[in-house]
Amino acid sequence: MIMKSRVLSLIVVVFVCGSVLGGESLATTDSGDNAALLYLKAVEQYEPTDDMINSLIKLRKGDIGLNDEIKEFVQKNKCVIDTVVEASKIEKCDWGLDKSVNFDMGKLPLAKIRGIVHLINADAMILAEKGEYESAMSRYVCIYKIASHVNGSYIVSYLVGTHLNSVANMGLIRLLSDMEINVKTLEMFQDKLSEIDSIGFSIEPSWEFEKRMTCSYFTLENVDGLAKDLGMPEIKEKVLGENEAFFAKNRACWNRAMDDVKAAFGLGYPEAFAKIEQVTNEVRKDVMRTEAPLVGLFFPACERIYSLDIKCRNEYNAVKAGAAVYMIKAKSGKLPDSLPVGLPVDLFSGKDFEYKKSGDGFVLKCVGKDLSKDEIYEYKFKVKD
């Protein structure tokens, strides 16, 4: 029963992602001061081949380096980059979603925006290679702003925003490793970090939106419609003959579970993960007892979503801690023997990162483990001679 619930939940997520990632509809508005219009213009302009898409992903992951083909492609798409950079400077971003309609995500072309961010990352790497560090840094600031603009509706849009932030986080670690280490350059870098700190990004708006919109399905009419959209008659079979009390129980259970998970976000990672796992297990028990089966069908993979949130924010903490280490190197001529006090901490443990000098730089290692993957992360920084 649990496995079937997991499969059905995944199908629901794929349904939502399909409408998000494959949507071609464009938002319209009378306002000229709307970042979404420029993003959509860039999406229309950007036409990469599958091979180039794969190359940019490999470049981001560090599987390949910059090459002439990528550089030429980036140069040919400068108009796309310029359009997106301009969009990122605009505060308002209205995608024209009709939030009274469930899963109205066709106007949010997240896959294409994600692809453009990989293009921007390549451009930042090219700028860094030329020694234009401030311009490269500005590209990453742009990516954080794009992430903020796509966040705020469904959880899938938050997850894409988290991916974009992670692209920027790892890009900043790479940029620090490539930069010439001097006080002036690092002061510029830290000023840009202060700008990033001011950009709002949180899981809570998407969590609340998902809670409200999914709960709206828990009526006989809407569940029937969803079953047709998904081609899943088993959903309809689960509610056949049920009355309003059945749907009210599902709504109450759903809201309680979503609220309990949200409350856990404010705890330290190990405590929060344990609480979220407890809530998830309770939901599964309800499904097994057939008391609130709709909740189990729609309940998100909360432990994984929360761990991705912590992982992304932890990467950024490592960037800030790493920048402080580089500043010590710039001022003293050598790396410190230990981390200075007061730096951003490892969010998986709530403790300072473990710091170790390496042959070509230093490593910041997490003390705590990503419990959703049973993995401990470390961040490697190189120092130019």
pTM of the entire structure?
A: 0.85
Asked, for residue 31, whether it belongs to a domain, the answer is yes
Residue 224 or residue 154, greater confidence: 154
Asked, for residue 194, whether it belongs to a domain, the answer is yes
Contact 304, 276 (CB under 8 A): no
Confidence of residue 29 (pLDDT cuts 50, 70, 90): very low
Q: Same structural domain for residues 331 and 264?
A: no
Taking residues 19-41, what's their average pLDDT? Answer: 61
Asked, for residue 1, whether it belongs to a domain, the answer is no
Q: Same structural domain for residues 65 and 117?
A: yes
Contact 105, 16 (CB under 8 A): yes
Q: Same structural domain for residues 288 and 314?
A: no
**C-alpha to C-alpha distance for 244 and 161, rounded to whole angstroms:** 37
Residue 220 or residue 139, greater confidence: 139
Q: What is the pLDDT of residue 27?
A: 39
Q: What is the pLDDT of residue 334?
A: 93
Q: What is the pLDDT of residue 376?
A: 97
Q: Same structural domain for residues 156 and 282?
A: no
Q: Same structural domain for residues 226 and 286?
A: yes
Asked, for residue 227, whether it belongs to a domain, the answer is yes
Give the chain as a 3 state SS string: CHHHHHHHHHHHHHHHHHHHHCCCCCCCCCCCCCHHHHHHHHHHHCCCCHHHHHHHHHHHHCCCCCCHHHHHHHHHCHHHHHHHHHHHCCCCCCCCCCCCCCCCCCCCCHHHHHHHHHHHHHHHHHHHHCCCHHHHHHHHHHHHHHHHHHCCCCHHHHHHHHHHHHHHHHHHHHHHHHCCCCHHHHHHHHHHHHHHHCCCCCCHHHHHHHHHHHHCCCCHHHHHHHHHHHCCHHHHHHHCCCCHHHHHHHHHHHHHHHHHHHHHCCCCHHHHHHHHHHHHHHHHHHHHCCCCHHHHHHCCCHHHHHHHHHHHHHHHHHHHHHHHHHHHHHHHCCCCCCCCCCCCCECCCCECCEEEEECCEEEEECCCCECCCCECCEEEEECCC
Asked, for residue 347, whether it belongs to a domain, the answer is yes
Asked, for residue 11, whether it belongs to a domain, the answer is no
Q: What is the pLDDT of residue 282?
A: 87
Which range among 17-31, 108-122, 130-144, 258-272 shows the weakest confidence by mean pLDDT?
17-31
* Range of the structural domain that residue 100 is part of: 21-201
Asked, for residue 15, whether it belongs to a domain, the answer is no
Amino acid at the residue 41: K
Q: Same structural domain for residues 56 and 178?
A: yes
Q: Same structural domain for residues 192 and 223?
A: no
pLDDT in tens, 105-154: 455 788 899 999 999 999 999 999 999 999 999 999 999 999 999 987 78
Q: What is the pLDDT of residue 5?
A: 38
Q: Same structural domain for residues 56 and 114?
A: yes
Share of the chain above pLDDT 70, in %: 82
Residue 13 or residue 251, greater confidence: 251
Average pLDDT, the chain: 85
Amino acid at the residue 248: A
User: What number of other Cβ atoms are within 10 A of residue 69's Cβ?
Assistant: 11
Asked, for residue 327, whether it belongs to a domain, the answer is yes
Tell me the two tokens of residue 281. 């297990």
pLDDT in tens, 162-217: 999 999 999 999 999 999 889 999 999 999 999 999 998 888 888 998 888 888 87
Q: Same structural domain for residues 237 and 157?
A: no
Q: What is the pLDDT of residue 107?
A: 59
Residue ending a domain, choose from 239, 274, 300: 300
Contact 66, 59 (CB under 8 A): yes
pLDDT in tens, 290-332: 678 788 878 889 999 999 999 999 999 999 999 999 999 999 9
Residue ending a domain, choose from 186, 201, 216: 201
pLDDT in tens, 61-73: 999 999 999 999 9
Residue 6 has pLDDT above 50, yes or no: no
Q: What is the pLDDT of residue 103?
A: 47
Q: What is the pLDDT of residue 10?
A: 35
Q: What is the pLDDT of residue 21?
A: 41
Q: What is the pLDDT of residue 227?
A: 60
Q: Same structural domain for residues 166 and 58?
A: yes
pLDDT in tens, 232-243: 666 666 666 677
**Tally of structural domains, the chain:** 3
Q: Which residues neighbour 170 within 8 Å (Cβ) at sequence distance 6 or greater?
A: 60, 315
Confidence of residue 384 (pLDDT cuts 50, 70, 90): confident
Residue 101 has pLDDT above 50, yes or no: no
Q: Same structural domain for residues 352 and 285?
A: no
Amino acid at the residue 256: R
Q: What is the pLDDT of residue 8?
A: 38
Amino acid at the residue 124: A
Residue ending a domain, choose from 153, 182, 201: 201
Q: Same structural domain for residues 36 and 166?
A: yes
